[in-house]
A = this chain, B = another copy of it.
Amino acid sequence: MLSIWGILAPMNAPRTARERARAELTAEITDAARRQLADVGPTDLSLRAIARDLGMASSAIYRYFASRDALLTALIVDAYDSLGEAVEAAEALVDRGDHLGRWMTATRAARAWALDHRHEYSLIYGSPVPGYAAPTDTIDPAGRVGLVVAAILADAAEAGVLGMVAGPQPVDGLIEPGVVDQLGADPAHAAAGVQAWTWLFGAISFELFGHYNNVVVDPDEWFDDAMARLAHLAGLTA
C-alpha cells in the first residue's frame, strides 16, 4: 500500500507545510546553537545571539523551545548521540574477534570526539547546567558508549577469553542487575566494566579541563597506556 499519497506524505513525518517548516526551523536553531557552542561554551550560549544568527526575533525562539535550558537539553541529547555514533562507527570497523583492539579503538574514538567537541563534551560530562534536572530524555542516549563497552565485554565472555578481574574480586550487588544483564557478564566483570567506563571519562575530563597540565608528558601516549592497563583490569587481554 505504498501509494503516492504515502510517498508524498510518509507516516510519522511532517505532512503540512507548516509542520515541515517547524521541523526545519527547529533543526536550524539547534544547528546554530551547536555552531555557537563551538566557540563559546555552554554558559555563554546566548539565545539572542542564535536568534540574530538566524535573522529572527529572540522571542520567536520560544515558539520552538520553552526556555534556554530546554534548548540546552536538546543539545545534550544530540551530543550524546554524536559521541555514541562516533564511538560505534569506529569500533564497528575492528575485527569482531579482536576484543582488546575493539576496546582500544572505542576509547580512542571517545577521546578524539571529546577533543574535537570540547564544549559539547563539557556540556554532557562537565558540571550539570544550573537549573537542569537530568531529564529522562537524556538517559537513553547517555548509555550508548556504555553499551559499546558492554558488547565488547560480552563478546569476550562468550568467546571464553575474558580473564579474571585483576586484584580483589568486586563484591556482588554493586551494579544494578539490569546493567549487569546488558554487560552479559558476571557481576565482577560488570563492576570492572563500570570502573573502566568511569576511568575513561575521568581521564578525558582531566585532560580537557587541564588537570593533567604539568603532570602528564604526552596525553596520547598516556591515554593509550592507561587504557591498555585498564582493559587488563577488566580481564580483557585479547
Contact = CB atoms under 8 A, between A and B. Distances in A.
Interface of A: 40-44, 122-123, 125-130, 134, 139, 142, 146, 165-168, 170-171, 173-176, 178-179, 191-192, 194-195, 198-199, 201-203, 205-206, 209-211, 213-218, 221-222, 225-226, 228-230, 232-233
Contacts of A44: 130
Contacts of A42: 127
By secondary structure, the A interface counts as helix
Contacts of A209: 125-128
Contacts of A178: 214
Contacts of A216: 174-176, 194
A86 B9 CA distance: 64
22 contacts: A40-B130, A42-B127, A43-B129, A44-B130, A123-B127, A127-B127, A166-B166, A167-B233, A168-B228, A170-B225, A173-B218, A174-B221, A174-B222, A174-B225, A175-B216, A178-B214, A179-B215, A191-B222, A198-B199, A202-B203, A229-B233, A233-B233
B195 A229 contact: yes
A178 B216 CA distance: 11
A34 to B, nearest CB: 17
Given A43-B43, A215-B175, A229-B168, A127 B130 contact: no
B232 A173 contact: no
